Structures are given as C-alpha cells and as structure tokens.
Amino acid sequence: MLPTGIHFGTYAGEAKILKTRRAGLWAAALVAGLIALPLASGPYLLGVMTHMFITLMAVYGLYVTVGMAGQINIAQSAFVGIGAFTAAKLSGYGLPVWVIVPAAALVTGAISVLFALPAARVKGFYLALTTLAAQVMFPIVILALPMDWLGGLVGLSVEPVRLGGLTLTTPLHYYYFTLVLAAVLTVAAFNLQRSRFGRSLMAVRDNDVVAEVMGIPVFRTKILAFFAGSLFAGVAGACTAYVLQFVTVSSFTLFASVWYLGMLIVGGAHSALGAVLGVVFITLVQEGLHGVANKVVQAGAATSGGMLFALTSIALGGCILIALIFEPRGLAHRWHVLRTAFQLWPFPRS
C-alpha cells in the first residue's frame, strides 16, 4: 500500500526497496545515526551494538535458508563456528582481512553443502534432524582433530585486524568494522528477493512440485539456499573471531542456534526486515533483563539477581511463544500494518 500519488511505470521501480524519497531520507538518517552513535555512547553500548551486528549477519543467513527457501536449519551456530575457526586459522598465516573474511564465508558455504545434499531430499522433522546432525558433529570434529590444526579443546587465538597501518584493537574500531560488514550484508539480504535466484527460492518454499513444473531445478535450488545462507554465517563467524580474539567450540552451541531461529520467528521469517526487528527486539529485552539483574545484585540481593539472570532465557522463550500465538507473521507484519494505517489516515480502510 502506497500513499496517494505514488505509482510506478516499470517492474524495477515497483520492486525497489526504498520506493519513496521519504523512505530514502529515513534510511539515510538511520545510517547517519549509527555512524554518529559512538560520539554519545560508551564501551558497553558499543560492545552490545557490535554483538548485535554480528548476530544480525547470522540471522540474515537463516532468513535466506528458512524464510526464503523454507528449509529448516537449526545448525546456524555451527556454521558461524566454522567461519570463526577458518578466520582464526588463516589469520595465523598473516593474510589480510579482505582475503580472510571472503575465504571464511566460502569455506563455510562449501561445508554446508555436505549437509545440504541429504537435507535437500527430506522435509519437515527429518530436515530438522539432518541440520541438527551438523550442530552435533561440529564440536566432535573440532575436538577430534590434532591440536595443532584447530586448537582442540584449548581453541585458537586470532590475530587482530590490520587495515593499512591501522590495527583494530578498541571497541570503537570493531564497532565500525562490524557496522560496515553488516551494512553490506543488509543490502545483499534486502535485494536478494528481487533477484532471479531469490524468486526461485520463494517458489520452492511455496510449492516445490509446481516450481519444478515451471522449470526451476528444485534440488539445486535447495542446496544453493544452504550455501547462500552459510555465506552470511561465515562472515558472522569471522567477525566473531576478530572481536573475541579467541575461538573455542564452547562459543557455538545448539542453544545459540535456537536463539538465532527464535529471533527470526519473532521478527518475521519471510522478510529481511523481520530479521532486523527480531534481532533488535530480542537484544533489547535481553540487555534490559540483564541490566535489571545487575541493579539487583548491586543492591545487595545477590541471590535474587542470580535468579533474574537465570530467568532471562525463560523470558526470551516466552517472547517466542507470544509471537507464535498472537503474531505468527512476526514484528515485520505488524510494522507493515501500522505503516499502511498511517499512510491511509484519516481515510478508512476497505
């Protein structure tokens, strides 16, 4: 639904992400605000925002695999871990960051194809089990390999990012580093649905039999969906490695994979905007609950504060249940409803 007077003469114009000048101004204001945010924030907020950018990259990958292609994936944390270990290993050879990050994405995508081959033949519950196998095998393989390969139980240290003569060491440096990569992946995620490949993914999601009749190679499309989604996870893993400066298998658990999927459900699985809204909403709730728990601990009630920290996961799980019951299409759908009502006001909707 567009405001009166806004119309398009071509499909390309109608398919644009930012359809009006006002939308472009709002997007520019958002970018300017994110660039200027460090001027009015401390290291804690910069750390939270950096973590949120990395999480958003991983959830974008789930949006491609789950939201666009309809392929259940509960192993995204394992794919993020593959990208992190790849970046950590390559950083030890002195390679530049502009080589390491794409290499981490490609390695992650290539490994995801090994699990996509059987997953492309099954659906539903069996597909979930197939991806779960990837999550379970990830720490087993890392720990089984010789320690001089990927560090085993100890893990791997990561060399800091060097851009020309600048070495990234401060929270401010990593904030801008992850902001740039998140912006690039945001443009890719929002424009993917406009591409031929994106339309193939959505056709397979809606009805793979009809899609095959229309000439879409369903098997290849499902495999490419896992590959494309894992590219995002690989970049997120490389950023995780650089920010933490150390990677271990304990950082990439099934619990993290479930939360990635939960963020996408809360935001809306069928929209890139849903990935953004889900990550922002869950992060705000999580940090808000942690802030309350910290205040309680500082006030002297250590036992109550510890209980609040433990209840954080329960509260976040409740958010997912509420989203599934009352708004199964996610926050993105609610946003579109409110925006349409604003654009049509004061005229009634038919």
Residue 306 confidence (pLDDT): 58
Q: Do 292 and 241 share a structural domain?
A: no
Residue 264: inside a domain, yes or no? Answer: no
Residue 304 confidence (pLDDT): 59
Q: Of 338, 313, 333, whose CA–CA distance to 323 is shortest?
A: 333
Query: What average pLDDT is seen over the chain?
Result: 87
Q: Do 279 and 218 share a structural domain?
A: no
Q: Do 310 and 211 share a structural domain?
A: no
Q: Do 112 and 65 share a structural domain?
A: yes
Distances (CA, A) of 215 to 195, 206, 333: 16, 15, 31
Q: Do 231 and 345 share a structural domain?
A: no
- Tell me the pLDDT tens digit for each residue of 86-126: 999 999 888 999 999 999 999 999 999 988 888 777 777 77
Q: Tell me how far apart the alpha carbons of residues 293 and 306 are, in angstroms, rounded to a whole number.
A: 7
Residue 6: inside a domain, yes or no? Answer: no
Q: Do 156 and 50 share a structural domain?
A: yes
Residue 224 confidence (pLDDT): 93
Q: Do 236 and 100 share a structural domain?
A: yes
**pLDDT, average across residues 325-335:** 88
Q: Do 314 and 178 share a structural domain?
A: no
- Of 203, 220, 252, the residue at which a domain comes to its end is 252
Q: Do 279 and 217 share a structural domain?
A: no
pTM of the entire predicted model: 0.91
Query: Domain range for residue 280?
Result: 272-350
Residue 303 confidence (pLDDT): 60
Residue 267: inside a domain, yes or no? Answer: no
Residue 7: inside a domain, yes or no? Answer: no
Residue 276: inside a domain, yes or no? Answer: yes
Q: Of 53, 63, 50, whose CA–CA distance to 231 is shortest?
A: 63
Q: Do 191 and 85 share a structural domain?
A: yes
Q: Do 80 and 206 share a structural domain?
A: yes
Q: Do 169 and 90 share a structural domain?
A: yes
- Tell me the pLDDT tens digit for each residue of 145-202: 888 888 888 889 898 888 877 888 889 999 999 999 999 999 999 999 888 999 999 9
- Tell me the pLDDT tens digit for each residue of 210-248: 999 989 999 999 999 999 999 999 999 999 999 999 999
The domain tally of the chain equals 2
Residue 117: inside a domain, yes or no? Answer: yes
Residue 32: inside a domain, yes or no? Answer: no
Q: Tell me how far apart the alpha carbons of residues 19 and 112 are, in angstroms, rounded to a whole number.
A: 35
Residue 69, exposed/middle/buried by CB under 10 A (0-12, 13-18, 19+)?
buried
Residue 299: inside a domain, yes or no? Answer: yes
